[in-house]
Amino acid sequence: MNTKPDSPLDELGKWEIQVRKGGLGLAVLAVLWPEKLYGLEILRRLDSQAGMSIPEGTIYPLLSRLKAEGLVDSEWVEADAGHPRKYYRLTEPGRGRVREMAQCWRAFAAGLERLLAPMEGDSK
Amino acid sequence: MSPNTSRDAGKAHLDTYLHQVQRHLGGLPDAEARETIAELRSHVLDKVAGDFSVRAIEAALDELGSPREVARLNVTERVAADLEVNRSPWRVLSAVGRLASLSLYGVFAFLVSLFGYALAAGLLITAAAKPFNPRHTGLWVQPQNSYSVMLGVTGHNQTGNELLGWWIIPIGLGLGLLLGWLTWRFGLFSVRHMRRTARA
């Protein structure tokens, strides 16, 4: 069997996927902050607002987990499209959680930014 | 093909796909499985936005993934979420059982868990029963076949050589608890492992 090591580009790609996966829960909760949305709308907003293009099949299991944790709630609504849609909204504990997660994320990103600052304009 | 025929063919294609997903959703309660199917149907109908041709439906389904993958993702994520709430040995065994039908590793994990808990229970019961029925409780090996081992409480006199004697109490308790704990840890690891591989 050929066990060629991954190229640096593959490694970078894997790292990027891990980073995005780590932030996905926060991103989904954050996108629900202003209003209730259904699954496809959540996917489209993640893509258009954050450049997060995730496999479509993964969104519903994630929403189901967030619902089981009590962070989001859902309801079926008869839509103009002619079929019902399942809308998700943040619960009060969900709003609290997304605030805390956002705080953690910002502190982490700010720390990382400080570490990366010396690289700005340094061509070494 | 007339527009109506094309529309029917597209809808039939979607129904077949959803039926296949449902077949693999055995690890979910019925109401949740029905809701999952309804949500997937709604997703595809939104995606095709009125174009029910087979080609449009197929393109939408391709983006969701194969029926088995979609079911596996839904079940593993739900089972793993349940375990975050309650990690008792029974719940862990039940979780591994719910995932058993989804992959070969699931079957393996379920069989190992069953064997591990059964052996742990056997050791603990034997250790607990020894003081009350010492002649019929213990660990025996047959003299003519050293691979034939009997552990537990029997209703008749054993012809084999008893190993351990009264030591079965501390050893049975210690080994039983250790094996039960290891099996529990293995179950938790297996559920997380299956969740990671389903997401990958």
pLDDT in 10s for each residue of chain B, 200 residues: 565 677 788 889 999 999 999 998 988 889 989 999 999 999 999 999 888 888 999 999 999 999 998 998 999 988 888 888 888 999 999 999 988 888 899 999 999 999 999 999 999 998 888 888 877 788 888 777 666 777 877 776 667 777 878 888 898 899 999 999 999 999 999 999 998 888 76
* Tokens encoding A62: 């994630």
Alpha-carbon torsion, ordered B138, B143, B148, B151, to 10 deg: 0
Alpha helices in A32-84 (DSSP H): 39-50, 59-68
Q: Are strands B137-142 and B145-153 parallel, antiparallel or unpaired?
A: antiparallel
Give the chain A residue nearest B66 (alpha carbons). Answer: A57
pTM: 0.76
* Tokens encoding A51: 């450049």
**Is B48 in contact with B56 (CB distance < 8 Å)?**
yes
Rounded to the nearest 5°, which phi and psi values hold at B156?
Answer: -130, 170
How many other CB atoms sit within 10 Å of the CB of residue B9? 15
Does ipTM top 0.90?
Answer: no
Which of A45, A54, A56 is most worth mutating to test chain B (most B CB atoms within 10 A of its CB)?
A56
DSSP tag of A121: T
- Give the minimum alpha-carbon distance from A59 to chain B in angstroms, rounded to a whole number: 10
Residue A64 to residue B74, Cβ atoms within 8 A? yes
Please tell me the predicted confidence (pLDDT) of residue B40: 95
Residue of B41, B49, B74 lying closest to A61 (CB–CB): B74
Spatial distance between the Cα atoms of B17 and B39, rounded to a whole number of angstroms = 13
3-state secondary structure of B154: coil
* Tokens encoding A52: 């997060």
**Is A43 in contact with A56 (CB distance < 8 Å)?**
yes
Dihedral angle sign, alpha carbons of residues A20, A22, A24, A30: negative
**Is B21 in contact with B70 (CB distance < 8 Å)?**
yes
Residue A56 to residue B81, Cβ atoms within 8 A? no
